[in-house]
Structure 1
Amino acid sequence: MKTSFFSIFVLVAIFGVVKPRLPVRSPTAYSSQQASQPAYFVIKNVNVIPMTSPGAVIIQASVVIRNGYIESLNGAVTPEAVLIDGNGKWLIPGLIDMHVHTPTDFSLGPLVPTQPPDVTFNTQDIMTPFIANGVTTIVNLNANMDSFSQRKEIQKGQVTGPRIALAALINGGQGAGRRANTAQAGRQAVRDAKAEGYELIKLYSQLNIETYVAIIDEANKLGLKTVGHIPDAFGGKLRQAFVPHFGMVAHAEEFSKQANEFSDQEARRFARLAKENGTWLSPTLTAMVRIAEQARSLDNLKRLPELAYIHPLLQSKWLTANNYNQNTSPERVAYFDKLVRFHGQLVRAFKQAGVPMVAGTDTGVSGVVGGFSLQDELALLQQAGLTPEEVLLSATRLPATWLGINAQVGTIEAGKWADLVLLEANPLDDIKNTRTITGVFVNGHWLAKAQLRAMLAELANRNRASTDQFDWRKIMGNIK
């Protein structure tokens, strides 16, 4: 099932990443305003949910932000400060999406003479939906060298976007990504990824057992954490997959693929295996919910409001060449529905076993839109049985801890980076209140609700204006 997630990325591998030769779609103007922003803010009289441990809510605090850092949670206000009214509002750490795929430029070259030779993705357009939803850190789990360029644009202030951690995907057989089919090749692939600057290693489905074990061992030696799929080679022998230092399972689906009865007893058995090995879980509930919807019908996808914020080429692919909807059947729909139900059982079992879970979305899957999908994921985690506080932990302190950046982000404390989300309502009452965003600090830059809405509207208008240029069927129909 997950193979289809790579449709757009396989094109990159086939046709090659290129530098744009045609004019890039006009970027938003907002990123250019960063340099002129004030460096000193105070959020006055705000209720702070620090997400520290222990971390009681701080009522009517004055949060001082200077030069991109949190200076104090109870500082004095001087005349030069830019005041933000926090009265009756709630401040949480910036949200973290632990499973994202961002598109990168690719060329169709002479294969499609009637179409522009390059398809380019403006980095600001990719990042705007994330920051508009309070997502200030993302983990790209199938990164390539263009992903480094996207991150650099953000670091240089050319784009307003989240912090990005990059994972190198290692696969086996003839699968997508960099491939390794021996232990020696697996170790070398890890060394190469480390030298290229990747922070994480993603394990994929076609790896054989020997190579999988070697990759995890080598990654640990080099200080790289591992996250990913449970390879198909472990079918019927799941326990063997839980080797030391296997850091995180990237989908609840990796367990449901191993299920026979889809029972609570099986869910608890899977949870014990993870707990005993110290392996975390990112359930990505929202991805399977969207997949099940699309297997049934594309009607919900067509009505999805956030579809407007997706590049027209990807919109066209999702609506005209949808891998989940094509050749569907009642049996396929029933199977996906079964997975959706079982994933809720898994979340409850993993909670009971004390296995840490972090919020991830698999953004890039058809119907799973950056930023918006994390809000959906949080609601689904609460629906599956986590408390609002546990859900908020899964998108703040816990992922920061697993990534090893908890000294910088994940909680609201003096000295940490000012990645913050200001809300109208208390998310500890209902996690859906994380949608009531009145403003976001990302990389220390303040974006009020009106500005975020304007950025989204500009993006939607630009996508609408260029829709006719990107017809997936016409482009792919010319490739023989």
Structure 2
Amino acid sequence: MPYLNSCRLFLCILLFSLTFRCTPSSPPLKEHSPEKKASQKVFAIQQVNVIPMTSGGNILPNATVIIRNERIVSLNGPIPAEAEIIDGKGKWLIPGLIDMHVHVPTDMHFGPARPTQGATLFFDTQDMMTPYIANGVTTIFELTAKAEHFGQRNEIARGDVIGPHMALAALINGGEGSGRVVNTASDGRQAVRSAKAEGYEFIKVYSDLNVETYQAIIDEAKKQGLKTIGHIPNAFKGRLEQAFVPHFGMVAHGEEFSKQTNEYSEGDAQRFAQLAKKNETWLSPTLTTMERILTQVRSLDELRASPLLQYVHPLLQSKWLTANNYNRDTSPERVAHIGQLVDFNVKLVRAFKKAGVPIVVGTDTGVSGVMAGFAVHDEIELLVKAGMTPLEALASATRLPASWLGIDNEVGTIEVGKRADLILLDADPLTDITNTRKIRGVFVNGRWVDRSTSQAMLSGLSKRNQAAKNDYDWNKRRDY
């Protein structure tokens, strides 16, 4: 599937390959941000039904949850006199959601660099993070991380921006691409050491790595204490077993397995699941991505009419609607082929679940049509449609990704001592998984953002995007 791989190769290029020199965006507007975090604030959520998402944990009905200094300090303990009361009667509390595959836009400059040259295209970090928070996504895994993402993470840590916690993976590829490109084992090992020295916490392997270099990267990452995630390099076509070496931690797309077969059969899915099971390799199937690709191969009408497009930066709107790689070939043969891949992804989920391979929610946000924050709910619902129970799908978006990321002592479940990353829902998601969208409010690192606040943030984002579209014709200058 070269056309699918090319559309993901270095998402930064995919998203930002509009090689024009646009004028800087207007200064960030601060009125759309909630107040900076007040770490000493105390909250009490009363009479709420708690779905703790602990392994084997039971629902706690009509519970009282006390939050102090950004932490859960009590379940059903006394309510401090100074606590701000949140009415949880008839509502449901779940851990904040985790998206294990995103690509967040960052400031950049196009063209030849000059001494003192800074960015010429700016993205307001709050605007990038608002859709995540409005949808209860309190942790994201950036899989094409660069230095600018550390800056975004720092803005969030300072409290200047309310946004999800960010895990960062350095992407390493081979061939003749751009970025961290290595084609020998020694260079691969050095790339891993450099990434760790720069502060990256994970390594993402990519499609064009040769066998020797890939294996060296995985081995060096293990020595450096960095987990690995990514694609199955094309060099393993016909010899998939050799890709499953110890410490290859997670496959980032179900599509990576579809490249290894022409049959797309139940037997193929079961065989792949056993390989992953034996190697203790997890799966992030990104069902949403393939669904969106299929829609766009057929037509852009659904994307063009989406009410969520208003929350997407106008540069990306232009890219998605006027230079959409997926919509360039709309032949019946291609539509049928992408449909096969969508169906095979479902077979993979069922086979991997049956084999006991952990599956986590990842959306590949940044790909055309995959909307930040909203797509997490799409993915959870597709997992249920593919055969998971609502409880299993919620675990794939909470406890399991927290465990893989190594932050399960902080988030992923509702327990005393853990960070207050929580979602208050108006209805029970275990009876209907679509109820994860019925968000009354979100706690992110102990900061309470109620529905009226998040809706105001989304409304402000929409207005700024529309104003930016009016100020500049994003379709006028495109060198793709």
**What TM-score, normalized to structure 1?**
0.94
Determine if the alignment matches structure 1 residue 364 to structure 2 residue 366: yes
Q: Residues 188-212 of structure 1: CA distance to partner in whole angstroms, max 9, x if unpaired?
A: 0000000000010000000000000
Paired residues of 1:28 and 1:125 also in contact (CA < 8 A): no
Against the structure 1 CA distance between its residues 409 and 350, is the aligned structure 2 distance closer, same or farther, given a 3 Å change threshold? same
CA distance in 2, matches of 1:328, 1:7: 24
Q: Kindly tell me: are residues 464 and 401 of structure 1, through their superposed partners in 2, closer, same or farther at Cα, counting changes over 3 Å? A: same
Distance 1:306 1:231 in 2: 34
Report deviation, 1:108: 3.0
Q: Match of 1:232? A: 234
Matches within 5 A, 1:346-425: 346-425=348-427
Q: What secondary structure does 2:442 align onto? A: strand
Residues 449 and 314 from structure 1, CA distance in 2 versus in 1: closer, same or farther, beyond 3 angstroms?
same
Residue aligned with 1:138, SS: strand
3-state SS of 1:29 partner: helix
Q: Is the 8 A contact 1:32 1:158 kept in 2?
A: no
Q: Which amino acid aligns with 1:93?
A: P
The 1:453–1:84 alpha-carbon spacing in structure 2 relative to 1, beyond 3 Å, is same
Alpha-carbon distance, 1:166 to partner? 0.2
What is the aligned-residue identity percentage? 60
1:74-473 counterparts in 2 under 5 A? Answer: 74-109=76-111, 118-473=120-475
Conserved? CA contact 1:226–1:248, under 8 Å: yes
The correspondence for 2:5, drawn from 2, 5, 8, is 2
Deviation at 1:252, TM superposition (A): 0.3
> 1:165: Cα distance to partner?
0.2
Which amino acid is the alignment partner of residue 227 of structure 1?
Answer: I
- Structure 2, unpaired ranges of 5+: none
Does the Cα contact within 8 Å between 2:102 and 2:140 map onto a contact in 1? yes
Structure 1, unaligned stretches of length 5 or more? none
| TM-aligned CA deviation for residue 472 of structure 1 | 4.4
Question: Quick check: 1:27–1:125 contact (8 Å CA) kept in 2?
Answer: no
Q: When the two structures are aligned, how many residues end up with a matched partner? A: 472
Q: Conserved in 2, the CA contact under 8 Å of 1:259 and 1:266?
A: yes
Secondary structure, counterpart of 1:415 in structure 2:
coil
Q: For residue 6 of structure 1, report the CA deviation from its aligned partner.
A: 4.9
Query: Letter of the aligned partner of 1:87 in structure 2?
Result: K
- The answer to whether the 8 A contact 1:44-1:63 is kept is yes
CA contact (8 A) 1:397 1:410 kept: yes
Deviations, residues 359-404 of structure 1 (Å, cap 9, x unaligned): 0000000000110000100000000000000000000000000001
Letter paired with 1:97: D
Residue type of the alignment partner of 1:44? Q
Question: Counterparts of 2:9 and 2:308 in 1: how far apart (Å)?
Answer: 21
TM-score normalised by structure 2 residue count:
0.94
Specify the code of the residue in structure 2 equivalent to 1:366: S
Q: CA deviation at 1:5?
A: 3.2
Distance 2:362 2:345 in 1: 14
Contact 1:44/1:83 (CA < 8 Å) preserved in 2? yes
